[in-house]
Chain A
């Protein structure tokens, strides 16, 4: 019996170890350091391996902010070769941290100019998405209330107690929404707006999962009771996609005037052990194959011109003609102060 126990333990360990070991040498693989929301479908990954002869290994280290901070911490001695997941809100921080080296991929010419925010080419745009207010259509129909059309609407008494937002200190969409209000109301008006929201009994969560999956009434399987949430323009198509049924309409809608532009970047890490592979990976991220994959893997939009979108996106994803924006430098200079002010205005 003792022997059996030792054997079982040994087998467990060997299984784990064998799993862990058996890794090819550095030049045969490229490591992508990114956040938890990164996803790539299997055929696309296999395509990368076929095209370049390199194994793609992922290192997912938390949400966008945490992953970036970790990469900054290891600047010069990075845990991988490429970093993916800097968005325009964190752009200046990433660049200031001296963790990237420049590389200008040829495919950059196929990318819309307005997405290419880094002139030094240390950060290459890969996808974009908009953070917008989503609302639960069924709820508003049931309660005979018109869904909100603008940011101003949220401050009205008719919409009391209906909103759930994420904390900008801890959530990327939360941060984007706060920036949207700053972009819309300006430096002098945004705090007053949030005071109004607070008086209107908004709910603040720490992260998107809790806000959307548990508090938002429009998410499938949610027991939440708030019909307005800060989420993405791609959330309605996601709801349709994951419902598994053929729907005529998306169950949720988007408040177009509340949308804030988010662009996501990637870059070659300074001190990477496989810089050549890193460059090949950046090229791949901009290739039509990968760009066509991003909508259904990560629920974001490709930056490359002429890439076809899947049906569920063309049918149910709203077009956002004029998303709110703020210059990356402005964001970089004021973000921390704004977050502190937001915290004292809304939470204290």
Chain B
């Protein structure tokens, strides 16, 4: 189990991490979610040992890692933009960690083959890094990070530079892989959908602190504060007199009536998102899977399921 206790890091006067704490269970994939600049990458670097924290501790299976240099931590890191070794070919990159561990030549070759097959690049061993496409580079970087069987795998926005369908496929592959291998993964992203898709649990970071951690359902049904709610993509956040109420879009049902007007109707895959303007000037968002939904301009009534309403603290 990986424990991050109250980590603090400052660069040139700005506090990149301000008391970040997190727990990661063995075999769990934890998605670390947050806007750019919130300290996610810094957190990863601290865990990997590339950045010494000014305060706080990193504990792995009960050991404080403060005195352990990065090459002895057995924590794998997949960088943003991959950072493959340009002077080695694919096999050379993947084999690197194994060589550092002193694995025999034969065993290394075997493992490299296994891993390349695992990531879906069975014939790429002899190719040079420069000839790989973005997606292929990603997979090689993954294989490389996995090769030395790290205790924890850190990924920094691994799908950042990839496009739509490729992304989906890779996300799928990653999830399957993590589960199959029973890896302990800390996965950093700024994309809510990605985080929810891949993480057993999701932690939300803001301004150098972890403000909430829980399963995707927990987060969705009970965001820690108004900021988290909005960050997760919930539009229906209403503040009044120091009190904040969040209404989940799927709890807003459209019925016959004249309480609101439909301003927009957007289909995203299986779900249609309706934007409604109420009589008293409020905007509401509704999510429905019905195919016979009202069109923009129509007047509708609103029914709110109280189970989908929750009061949350205001962000500070």
A touches B (Cβ under 8 A):
no
